[in-house]
């Protein structure tokens, strides 16, 4: 079954690559509205993906997200939050992706993740076939209740908590956007992920686990925009140039 998506229309399309915003564990698509709106103002076509309730683990969710990406007709930029970054890496190995932005990354199966999620409770949920409730330590206090989801499929949480998916390069430009105050990605974790993925690291001073939704989110979303333009370069401007050519041709 295809994942539901919600469009965020740009204020004048400028870039060829659409952007898929993928929420992490125990988070709803609404957590991306602010960042998607700002990038839409900059000319990016955005799509908020609602992955909640999709059964299965990382592989199954990656398959569903790959199908969404294929429907766009152009290789997308994936902007994924926490555990969704693990899924996005798998998607980039299955289909063409323009770039990958992993916000609030962490090492799957690492001590910081296990500290935030009770691994025995997750295992019990898997054995008894029930979803896993949102741990208080996972998601900080948020401004909007629509940002959070109360349950996730146990298989997905197990894949992440036990580190069943290997961290390896996906063959696409990747950046890790880390909140300085996010305890799930300490300096050692950043180094491990950067080396394993061949990824750039951007540390946001003072930011926490939701750097594109809270605090100085506008500044942080602007940093992502600039990284994409710098990394992808002139190929991004093709859509803008085509649109201008069509407009000029219509004026004749």
Q: What is the CATH number of domain 5-251?
A: 3.40.50.1820
The structure tokens listed for 6 are 């919600």
pLDDT at 250: 46
Separation CA 39–CA 33 (nearest Å): 10
Cα distances from 4 to residues 50, 91, 131, 150, in angstroms, run 5, 17, 20, 18
Do you know the residue count of the chain? Answer: 252
State mean pLDDT over 20-38: 96
Could you tell me the residue ranges of all domains in the chain?
Answer: 5-251
State mean pLDDT over 219-223: 97
State mean pLDDT over 117-142: 83
Model confidence over 58-90: pLDDT tens digits? 999 999 999 999 999 999 999 999 999 999 999
Mean residue pLDDT of the chain comes to 89
What's the Rg (C-alpha) of the chain? 18
pLDDT at 145: 87
Residues 6 or more apart whose CB falls under 8 angstroms from that of 223 comprise 177, 202, 204
Model confidence over 95-123: pLDDT tens digits? 999 999 999 999 998 888 888 888 788 88
Q: In this prediction, what percent of the chain has a pLDDT beyond 70?
A: 92
State mean pLDDT over 226-249: 69
Q: Are 20 and 76 in contact (CB under 8 A)?
A: yes
């Amino acid at each position: 079954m295809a994942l539901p998506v919600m469009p965020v229309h740009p204020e004048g399309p400028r870039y060829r690559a659409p952007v898929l915003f993928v929420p992490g564990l125990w988070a709803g698509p609404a957590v991306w509205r602010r960042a998607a709106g700002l990038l839409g103002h900059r000319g990016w076509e955005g799509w908020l993906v609602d992955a909640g309730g999709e059964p299965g683990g990382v592989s199954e969710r990656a398959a569903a997200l790959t199908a969404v990406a294929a429907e766009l007709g152009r290789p997308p930029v994936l902007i994924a939050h926490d555990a969704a970054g693990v899924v996005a890496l798998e998607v980039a190995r299955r289909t063409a992706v323009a770039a990958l932005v992993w916000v609030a990354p962490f090492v799957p199966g690492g001590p910081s993740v296990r500290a935030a999620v009770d691994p025995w409770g997750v295992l019990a949920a898997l054995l008894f076939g029930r979803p896993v409730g949102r741990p208080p330590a996972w998601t900080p206090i948020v401004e909007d209740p629509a940002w959070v989801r109360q349950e996730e499929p146990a298989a997905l949480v197990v894949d992440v908590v036990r580190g069943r998916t290997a961290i390896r390069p996906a063959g696409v430009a990747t950046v890790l956007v880390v909140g300085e105050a996010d305890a799930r990605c300490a300096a050692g974790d950043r180094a491990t992920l950067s080396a394993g993925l061949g990824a750039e690291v951007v540390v946001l001073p003072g930011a926490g686990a939701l750097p594109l939704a809270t605090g100085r989110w506008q500044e942080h979303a602007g940093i992502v925009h600039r990284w994409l333009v710098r990394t992808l370069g002139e190929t991004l401007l093709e859509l803008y140039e085509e649109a201008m050519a069509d407009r000029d041709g219509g004026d004749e």
